[in-house]
Structure 1
Amino acid sequence: MTPRLRALATASAISAAATAGYLTARHSLRAELATVRHAACHDPLTGIPNRAGLSAVADSFITTAHTNGCPVAVVLVDLVGFKKVNDTHGHDAGDHILTSVAARLTGIAGPAGICARLGGDEFALITTGPATRRDDAATWLADWLTHIHNRLTTPVSYHGRALAAGATLGAVLAHTGQPATVWLHHADLAMYAARANRRTTAVFTDTADTTAATRPADRPRDLARPTSPLAAAPTTWRAA
């Protein structure tokens, strides 16, 4: 091989190596960015979306559902007695409760719904129903909340023990024209109304907040909560 051909071959090999290195680095960078994006939008313990992940898709989900003529339920879930599980059986048992609740909510949401862990023992669920008329949607939501509550409060097995936590649910039928944050706020008000009235579930059916419905800021976390999943039957709450 002449010196010229040898130089060309060397240059070609260097170029190919540089290109391969660039492509490898680019692929690695894209993978790292995807990992970072996923971590930013998902809860590390349960693997389901976190508050940021829910916020990123909730508005479009509600709009699409209404375009298809389906009612949309926005539900907030707060576990009852979760601290007692942690204190009695340890944090690993508490984590098992949280991951079990997340798995059940994922099953309830199905491929057409969204569930998220908002933090601590609070979760959110956004799902659609088959009803089209307003009265049908209200009936569907009441039945749906009963189903969700029963699923979430079924004891879970942990090292041969049956662990149980209750749940308080607040819900609202969401509509277009308002951002998802508004409907999450209304569901939050319903959840606190359920606690104040020692109910397991409540539905926000009015669009106006009232002083009585305002979320208390200084109330101890477990005050006025149902002490058992069987403490009270589901109810519907209407803001005055």
Structure 2
Amino acid sequence: MSSSALIYRQVLLKFTVPVAILLAVVLAVSLIAVFAIAEQETRVTREHEARLAESAVAVRRRQMETTVLDYGAWDDAVDRLATRLDPAWADANIGAWTFQSLGFDMAFVIAPDGSTRYASIDGKRSDRAVNAALTAGFGALVASQRAGERDSAASGLVLADGLPAIVAVAPIRYFTPGRESPGPPLLLVVVDRLLPGKLDQIEKAYLLPGMHAVSVGQFAEAEVKLVTAGGVAIGGLSWDGEQPGKALLRTVLPIWLALTGLFVLLAVMMLKQAQSAATMIAESEWRANHDALTRLPNRVLFFNYLDAASRLVADGGPRFALLYLDLDGFKLINDVHGHPAGDTVLKVIAERMSGEVGPSDMVARLGGDEFALVLDGHEQPAAIQAIGQRMIRALHIPIRLESGQDVTVGATIGVAIAEDDSTDPLVLLRQADEALFLGKRAGKGQVRFHAALAMQQAV
């Protein structure tokens, strides 16, 4: 081998080997980092989902406490349950009503000595004793209520016929000022078993697919563990959660394998590839939370925002108004001018809606021609009415299509207001939807408040 060839080889080895080792280390570290990031994304997502599920149970507990405390303040209930038991009255007003109207699976009336004065299961009178139906955690819950203020309610997790359940307890007392029950009051107990139907509501409202209850024997496998106030495990909740880490690996691993095979030739491009991958991940996350056509937040991001705002209200934070908006006449535009024209209209509508709200408000497209708005800090109906009417007028301004034709659409808005005792996102959305439906039936093009709010204004 000639001296020049030897020198060339030494120089080549001197630079090639360190670069090759460096690239190999970089590739190995990048692979480890990708797995770590994938695991972290999945873990953070699962933790967020677990917080949503815990929030759903906590919101339901607070709602049940408020409901049973209000329901227990009833003169007739004291006269027909404490003074003398009227089974027919109890069947209609405790058994059937709490099941059909309030959605509670079980209802019990407990005497001061702990005996069962009345029992109802699935809306029908039962001879079951409360201590036979409700086991782990129930005794401590009743003791907690008895130890608190006379007119206070208590709630917690117990076992109801072997199933995890949310239970609320409140005294049955006179509503009329000046009337007092002699001695300790009867207690009204309502039970919400975590049955598939109830879990389906949480699944849809909080986007937790496949939610199901887990028995005590599978307690360690539960995403959210259900424990009584006394620390007794009664089961848990699990669901088919998202695993964004796997999607990340499916995207990045083929790229990494290609780079591994060609790392010498692609050494210069590695930095660009890493930057491109980061951009792809950021864009993927953005697409997962936004509507591709209007670029507004989509249903996933909207429910996360609504849940956070609802929890703030429940903790004493600012109230807000939820507006459910549906376009009037949009289908005719699609039918006459075609879907491209309809897409143009939706984009213009999205821009106008965003221009009519403040920077702290949320405007989202739920799908089709349905939109939702959260007006932060708004609770006065007059102000909300003004905003809604202004938005309806803005949306009614003619829109110029690419064909040169002008089209117009109308809008109907249903409104629900998050108050201290009504912060369940699913309930708020249903109330706004019901108000929207009534507004549509009443002639469209109007801002319609939920019936409960309208009655409060009337009073």
**TM-score of Structure 1 vs Structure 2, range by shorter chain:** 0.7 to 0.9
- SS of residue in 2 equivalent to 1:109: coil
Q: What is residue 439 of structure 2 aligned with on the other side?
A: 194
Q: What is residue 12 of structure 1 aligned with on the other side?
A: 18
Matched, 1:142 2:385: yes
Deviation at 1:70, TM superposition (A): 4.3
- Taking a change above 3 Å as real, the CA distance of residues 68 and 106 of structure 1, as seen in their structure-2 partners, is farther
What is the identity, as a one-letter code, of the residue corresponding to 1:15? I
**What is the rounded CA distance, in whole Å, between the counterparts of 1:115 and 1:125 in structure 2?**
5
- Taking a change above 3 Å as real, the CA distance of residues 148 and 70 of structure 1, as seen in their structure-2 partners, is farther
**What is the rounded CA distance, in whole Å, between the counterparts of 1:78 and 1:29 in structure 2?**
38
**What is the rounded CA distance, in whole Å, between the counterparts of 1:65 and 1:112 in structure 2?**
15
In the TM superposition, what whole-angstrom CA distance separates every residue of 1:65-115 from its partner, at most 9, and x where no partner exists? 788964411111111111111122222211111111111111123321111
Q: Which stretch has the larger CA shift, 26-35 or 52-61?
A: 26-35
Deviation at 1:22, TM superposition (A): 6.2
> TM-score, structure 1 length as denominator?
0.72
- SS of residue in 1 equivalent to 2:293: coil
**What is the rounded CA distance, in whole Å, between the counterparts of 2:287 and 2:359 in structure 1?**
21
Q: Which stretch has the larger CA shift, 82-91 or 69-78?
A: 69-78
> TM-score, structure 2 length as denominator?
0.40
**What is the rounded CA distance, in whole Å, between the counterparts of 1:86 and 1:61 in structure 2?**
35
How many residues are treated as equivalent by the alignment?
A: 205
**What is the rounded CA distance, in whole Å, between the counterparts of 1:237 and 1:45 in structure 2?**
39
What is the identity, as a one-letter code, of the residue corresponding to 1:98? L
The counterpart of 2:401, out of the listed 154, 158, 169, is 158
Q: What is residue 328 of structure 2 aligned with on the other side?
A: 80
Q: Which stretch has the larger CA shift, 144-153 or 168-177?
A: 168-177
Q: What is residue 204 of structure 1 aligned with on the other side?
A: 450
**What is the rounded CA distance, in whole Å, between the counterparts of 1:237 and 1:80 in structure 2?**
27
Q: Which has the higher contact order (CA 8 A, sep 6+)?
A: 1
Within-5 A mapping of 1:1-240: 7-18=13-24, 19=26, 24-63=272-311, 70-129=318-377, 137-159=380-402, 160-175=404-419, 178-199=423-444, 200-206=446-452
**What is the rounded CA distance, in whole Å, between the counterparts of 1:97 and 1:35 in structure 2?**
25
In the TM superposition, what whole-angstrom CA distance separates every residue of 1:132-180 from its partner, at most 9, and x where no partner exists? xx6xx12211222211211122221224322101111101112356232
Q: What is residue 185 of structure 2 aligned with on the other side?
A: none
**What is the rounded CA distance, in whole Å, between the counterparts of 2:343 and 2:441 in structure 1?**
27
**What is the rounded CA distance, in whole Å, between the counterparts of 2:315 and 2:359 in structure 1?**
18
- Taking a change above 3 Å as real, the CA distance of residues 62 and 39 of structure 1, as seen in their structure-2 partners, is same
In the TM superposition, what whole-angstrom CA distance separates every residue of 1:170-215 from its partner, at most 9, and x where no partner exists? 01112356232321211101000111222422101528xxxxxxxx
Deviation at 1:4, TM superposition (A): 7.6
What is the identity, as a one-letter code, of the residue corresponding to 2:391? I
Q: What is residue 220 of structure 1 aligned with on the other side?
A: none
Unaligned runs of 5+ in 1: 208-235
Deviation at 1:12, TM superposition (A): 1.9
Deviation at 1:8, TM superposition (A): 4.9
**What is the rounded CA distance, in whole Å, between the counterparts of 1:170 and 1:179 in structure 2?**
17
Unaligned runs of 5+ in 2: 1-6, 27-266
Deviation at 1:27, TM superposition (A): 3.6
- Identity over aligned pairs, percent: 29
Contact 1:190 1:237 in 2 (8 A): no
| Largest Rg, 1 or 2 | 2
**What is the rounded CA distance, in whole Å, between the counterparts of 2:286 and 2:441 in structure 1?**
37
What is the identity, as a one-letter code, of the residue corresponding to 2:417? L
- Taking a change above 3 Å as real, the CA distance of residues 10 and 37 of structure 1, as seen in their structure-2 partners, is same
**What is the rounded CA distance, in whole Å, between the counterparts of 1:127 and 1:178 in structure 2?**
14
**What is the rounded CA distance, in whole Å, between the counterparts of 2:327 and 2:410 in structure 1?**
6
What is the identity, as a one-letter code, of the residue corresponding to 1:150? R
- Taking a change above 3 Å as real, the CA distance of residues 105 and 56 of structure 1, as seen in their structure-2 partners, is same
- Taking a change above 3 Å as real, the CA distance of residues 91 and 3 of structure 1, as seen in their structure-2 partners, is closer
**What is the rounded CA distance, in whole Å, between the counterparts of 1:170 and 1:66 in structure 2?**
22
Q: What is residue 216 of structure 1 aligned with on the other side?
A: none
Q: Which stretch has the larger CA shift, 112-121 or 11-20?
A: 11-20
